[in-house]
Structure 1
Amino acid sequence: MMPDIFSSFDPYMFNTLFPTNSMFLLTNTLILLLVQSSFWVMNSRITTFKSPIKNTIFTQLSRTSGLHLKGLSTTLSAIFFLLIMVNLMGLVPYTFSTSSHLIFTLALGLPIWLSLIISSFSNSPKKSTAHFLPDGAPDWLNPFLVLIETTSILVRPLTLSFRLAANMSAGHIVLSLMGVYCATAWFSSVTSIILLTMTTLSYILFEMAICLIQAYIFCLLLSLYSDDHAH
């Protein structure tokens, strides 16, 4: 029994059944199986499964300037696979939800954002600095606009990481509450048992969709950040 609804975010609560290291090992193994190359003439089952996911990222990058950045499409595809696996692994009962912690999401978003900033200033410092000041603004407003743009760019990795962690945390808290209500419903009427069980199953399916959507949004925002890269 959990002491409170936030106990699902404690990695030491469920180490006896599914250790955190085992979950990381299983996730990494699945990712390696999905991203491996295929040398067959016809597509294998793994290639057929991963092709729509890769095409989703490539299609999004084709709408942004990230298409001209070598290696970005491969990196975002790997992050997309990783987030999907980690988010879905967090839905397994009595497991540690890794993607609901800020240190994990920040470790993914901060290096990509920082590499885009460093690459942009290394490529063209003047064009990169020009992004801090919009065109057509009055002179007296320029210092405030520079300050606002600088702040908005600096907080991007924090908002990106908080968005994923907060959405996953909220979903797991709701699942914990519904699990408690379903457990207590076994001592009440049959109608309550059926109603709460069907509601819980429906929310689990909804949470699985949220896991996929949040992984896509995370990679989508990273691809949109590449529009500020100087070319």
Structure 2
Amino acid sequence: MTNLFSSFDPSASLHLPINWTSVTMCFILIPLTFWLIPTRIASLWSKILLALHKEFQTLIGKGFSGSTFIFISLFTLILYNNFLGLFPYVFTGTSHLVMTLTLALPLWLSFMIFGWINNTIHMLAHLVPQGTPPALMPFMVCIETISNLIRPGTLAVRLAANMIAGHLLLTLLGNTGSMIPNSILIVLLGAQILLLVLEAAVAIIQSYVFAVLTTLYSSEVI
């Protein structure tokens, strides 16, 4: 690597732009769920998806039936990519705004178009919270409009920044291994293992947060 941030450059590895193929590696694992006799991992994953379906259905409320599968698929895609990025020499696609904005912007834009075309009065009512004094209504409209417009950006930046931060910390600690004595190397190895466990938890939490926030944004336009 030429510098610390080269691990987030798709063309830095072997000078071949094949790092984005890690994004499609999740399709290798999908056929395992269609076995006639599922494995224990497949059964556990089915229970997790069922729990997510029930929770997303509760968040959407009176939404369209079957719309939760969009957000479950979104959760699965982000989770696979977050976990694949923890393996050595595997490119983390979710650490790039190119991918996170590609996921967040079309969903948010479709929600806005649907809401303003079909529920215009409901969308206008969202711009002014209940109980707002008349003098503050113009300011609240501006604030709510700005907060609505930056939603896809906050979704994308939150996911990418969390992935970049943990990977940079792991890289920084790993690069110091050759410059410290063996007595401290054991401590560094323990810290790396703890950070790897933390990054695994962050991978799950961030994919869940992305899917839940997208579900909440969709429930506001119905």
Normalized against structure 1, the TM-score is what?
0.86
Whole-angstrom CA distance in 2 between matches of 1:197 and 1:18: 32
Whole-angstrom CA distance in 1 between matches of 2:61 and 2:96: 28
Q: Which residue of 1 aligns with 2:97?
A: 102
Q: Is the 8 A contact 1:66 1:73 kept in 2?
A: no
Does 2:141 match 1:146? Answer: yes
Whole-angstrom CA distance in 2 between matches of 1:227 and 1:176: 39
Whole-angstrom CA distance in 2 between matches of 1:121 and 1:69: 17
Whole-angstrom CA distance in 2 between matches of 1:131 and 1:195: 53
Q: Is the 8 A contact 1:132 1:146 kept in 2?
A: yes
Q: 1:114 to 1:7 in 2, by over 3 A?
A: same
Normalized against structure 2, the TM-score is what?
0.89
Moved more, 45-54 or 72-81: 45-54
Whole-angstrom CA distance in 1 between matches of 2:62 and 2:94: 27
Moved more, 15-24 or 176-185: 15-24
Does 2:156 match 1:164? Answer: no
Q: Which residue of 2 aligns with 1:33?
A: 31
Q: Equivalent residue of 2:81, what SS?
A: helix
Moved more, 117-126 or 171-180: 117-126
Query: After superposition, where does 1:28-177 map in structure 2 within 5 Å?
Result: 28-30=27-29, 32-33=30-31, 40=36, 44-45=39-40, 47-65=42-60, 68-177=63-172
Q: 1:15 to 1:69 in 2, by over 3 A?
A: farther
Q: How far off is 1:227 after superposition?
A: 3.0
Q: How far off is 1:16 after superposition?
A: 6.3
Whole-angstrom CA distance in 2 between matches of 1:25 and 1:150: 36
Instruction: In structure 2, list runs of 5 or more residues that go unmatched.
Output: none
Whole-angstrom CA distance in 2 between matches of 1:53 and 1:112: 23
Q: Equivalent residue of 2:25, what SS?
A: helix
User: What letter is aligned with 2:23?
Assistant: F
Whole-angstrom CA distance in 2 between matches of 1:18 and 1:90: 16
Whole-angstrom CA distance in 1 between matches of 2:65 and 2:34: 19
Does 2:197 match 1:199? Answer: no
Give the paired residue count. 222
Q: Which residue of 2 aligns with 1:183?
A: 178
Whole-angstrom CA distance in 1 between matches of 2:169 and 2:93: 17
Moved over 3 A (4+): 15-19, 42-47
Provide, for residues 126-158 of structure 1, a one-character-per-residue CA deviation record: whole Å limited to 9, x for no partner: 112111111222222111111111111111110
CA RMSD of aligned residues (A): 2.3
Q: How far off is 1:20 after superposition?
A: 1.4
